[in-house]
């Protein structure tokens, strides 16, 4: 007979609630309650804590009726995997493609997304990076307000659909990275504090009390997180996890949660015989994030590099507001291309303090850092959710600088064809008070930047979500198809070029016009030449290349350099 368990250390009574009635549970000394009852795969159940209404299992594997409904038993062993020969893929150096399931296709499901896997393979993608799938309130949302971290959002297809998706990815040679959020939970459907001390007032975060990683009861809370991560690897065959905003994981314990997770992940990788990755999003600009635990680091496989994004974005767009204030000069981009962080102990104007630590080119490798022209944050957290307003040539330059960099490249869905659709912040809360709080908070946030509140899209308006769905008809239309061909050519070049796969930071050389008209990047025998101006110019070179490898907009090798049209870019060799 199956055993149901739940951790509720301070409860006086806990009952297992089934369709047939309630079953009293027995408490063990460690605070875990258990009861045996009939019920296998597909059985609906919930818990009542000290007489509460039935609430979902904190480790619910399936929430078919939403985050307030009963949990459902899901037997992960029922799925017939076909990926026994899948050897895995190291996240470092893999070409990432970040996508949001609810807007990647009109259907907004895992099965619908799987119909585009051949397209991603042809593009040159190697790692599909899914934004969060943990169950969150409503139908449409980003997923960063998930509350049932072990379940898969039912509108996406539920847990078996995720198994099907990963299996199909592996069948065509694609690895899968899953975005997980351990630094906070959303407010709607969050019943964790009914069960135990999952949160602590010892630390605060932008979302309120911090997840309890170092206070009384934290051993089980840490186990809750690590078990969740290992479950995605073991039972869903995921290859890597992207850890959201790890700087908000407040942990003063002797062994940081990330170090613990790193070591447990490494043990599981050894057991499974394939690489498992942990990719951190961190605002700390601290290379300790990717240094081995044995050397005092936190053991992450890789981390996102927002400084590189900011330097590239401002170079191409000219924007300087907010956190872009210290960026924009060619020399800043040169630093982030060769040293990862602009702020590596220097003063950050936006933060109002010194920030970060330097990267050591002799110790740290480029593939430990992800580079990108955009991602869900850098688009969706703009007031209008607008993608960069750039010419096709400028988009091509951005792609070239990311893909030929020494970093692990990442593409945000649709950027490869210059998608015209925005990607906006959208929610689907059923509680009127919460919906209004999100709406007014969003407008208040951008009012300080001078935006008219009426211009800010209403997150609760279904049209805000619908307008963010990719328009796949653009792929075959000009100028989108030309940009898409450029991405494919660049990624194919990266795949076959040892020079472009060299991730030593000291293997990169960059020269540039101080006024920001052009720049030249040397990668072994290859040189990337970009004209940042709208008018044609000749980019001077100390040594004229022998041949053109590929170019966007056309280029001509002349006596003293490269004649290149406005917003043109090319790769040259010899």
Catalytic residues: 244, 281
What is the separation, in whole angstroms, between the first and last Cα of the chain? 71
Q: Strand 346-348 vs strand 561-564: parallel, antiparallel, or unpaired?
A: unpaired
3-state SS assignment for residue 195:
helix
Query: How does DSSP classify residue 406?
Result: S
Return all residues near 389 (Cβ < 8 A) that are at least 6 apart.
317
Separation in Å, CA 475 to CA 374, 485, 493:
19, 10, 21
Instruction: Report the C-alpha gap between 144 and 138 in whole angstroms.
Output: 13
Could you give the CA distance from residue 377 to residue 375 in angstroms, rounded to a whole number? 5
Q: Token digits for 330? A: 């060619």
The number of residues making up the chain comes to: 574
**H-run or E-run covering 573:** strand 569-573
Number of other residues whose CB lies within 10 A of the CB of residue 270:
10
Kindly list the distances between the CA atom of residue 420 and the CA atoms of 121, 159, 171, 300, 557, in Å, as whole numbers in the listed order. 23, 32, 31, 35, 33
- Collapsing DSSP to helix, strand or coil, 125 comes out as coil
Which residues share a beta bridge with 278?
Answer: 241
Reading the block at residue 445, the tokens are: 């946030």
Distance CA 400, CA 51 (A): 61
**Six token digits for residue 452:** 């008219």
């Amino acid at each position: 007979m199956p055993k149901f368990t739940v951790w509720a250390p301070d409860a006086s009574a806990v009952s297992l609630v089934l369709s047939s009635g309630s079953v009293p549970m027995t408490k063990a000394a460690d605070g875990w309650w258990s009861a045996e009852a009939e019920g296998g795969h597909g059985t609906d159940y919930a818990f009542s804590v000290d007489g509460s209404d039935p609430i979902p299992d904190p480790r619910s594997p399936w929430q078919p009726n939403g985050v307030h409904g009963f949990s459902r038993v899901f037997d992960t062993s029922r799925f017939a995997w076909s990926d026994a020969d899948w050897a895995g893929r190291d996240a470092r150096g893999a070409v990432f493609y970040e996508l949001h399931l609810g807007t990647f296709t009109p259907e907004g499901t895992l099965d619908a997304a799987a119909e585009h896997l051949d397209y991603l393979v042809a593009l040159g993608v190697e790692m599909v990076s899914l934004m969060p799938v943990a169950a969150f309130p409503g139908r449409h949302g980003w997923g960063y307000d998930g509350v049932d971290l072990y379940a898969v959002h039912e509108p996406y297809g539920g847990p078996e659909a995720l198994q099907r998706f990963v299996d199909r990815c592996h069948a065509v040679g694609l690895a899968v990275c899953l975005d997980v959020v351990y630094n906070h939970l959303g407010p709607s459907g969050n019943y964790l504090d009914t069960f135990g001390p999952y949160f602590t007032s010892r630390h605060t975060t932008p979302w309120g009390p911090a997840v309890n990683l170092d206070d009384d009861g934290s051993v089980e809370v840490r186990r809750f997180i690590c078990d969740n991560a290992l479950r995605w690897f073991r039972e869903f065959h995921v290859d890597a996890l992207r850890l959201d905003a790890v700087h908000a994981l407040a942990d003063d314990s002797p062994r940081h949660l990330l170090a613990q997770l790193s070591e447990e992940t490494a043990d599981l990788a050894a057991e499974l015989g394939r690489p498992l990755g942990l990719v951190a999003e961190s605002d700390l600009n601290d290379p300790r994030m990717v240094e081995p635990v044995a050397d005092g680091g936190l053991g992450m496989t890789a981390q996102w590099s927002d400084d590189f994004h900011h330097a590239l974005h401002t170079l191409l767009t000219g924007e300087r507001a907010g956190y872009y204030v210290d960026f924009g000069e060619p020399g800043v981009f040169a630093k982030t291309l060769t040293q990862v962080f602009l702020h590596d102990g220097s003063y950050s104007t936006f933060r109002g303090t010194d920030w970060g630590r330097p990267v050591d080119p002799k110790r740290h490798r480029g593939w430990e850092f992800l580079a990108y022209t955009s991602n869900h944050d850098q688009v969706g957290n703009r007031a209008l959710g607008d993608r960069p307003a750039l010419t096709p040539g400028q988009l091509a330059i951005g792609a070239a600088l990311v893909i030929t960099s020494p970093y692990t490249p990442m593409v945000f869905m649709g950027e490869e064809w210059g998608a015209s659709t925005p990607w906006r912040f959208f929610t689907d809360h059923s509680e009127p008070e919460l919906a209004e709080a999100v709406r007014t908070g969003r407008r208040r946030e951008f009012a300080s930047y001078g935006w008219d509140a009426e211009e800010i899209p209403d997150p609760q308006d279904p049209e805000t979500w619908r307008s963010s769905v990719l328009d796949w008809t653009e792929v075959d239309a000009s100028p989108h198809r030309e940009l898409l061909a450029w991405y494919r050519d660049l990624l194919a070049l990266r795949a076959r070029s040892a020079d472009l796969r060299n991730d030593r930071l000291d293997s990169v050389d960059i020269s540039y016009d101080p006024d920001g008209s052009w720049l030249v990047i040397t990668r072994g025998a290859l040189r990337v030449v970009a004209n940042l101006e709208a008018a044609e110019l000749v980019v001077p070179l100390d040594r004229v290349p022998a041949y053109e490898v590929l170019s966007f907009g056309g280029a001509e090798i002349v006596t003293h350099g490269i004649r290149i049209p406005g917003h043109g870019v090319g790769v040259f060799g010899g």
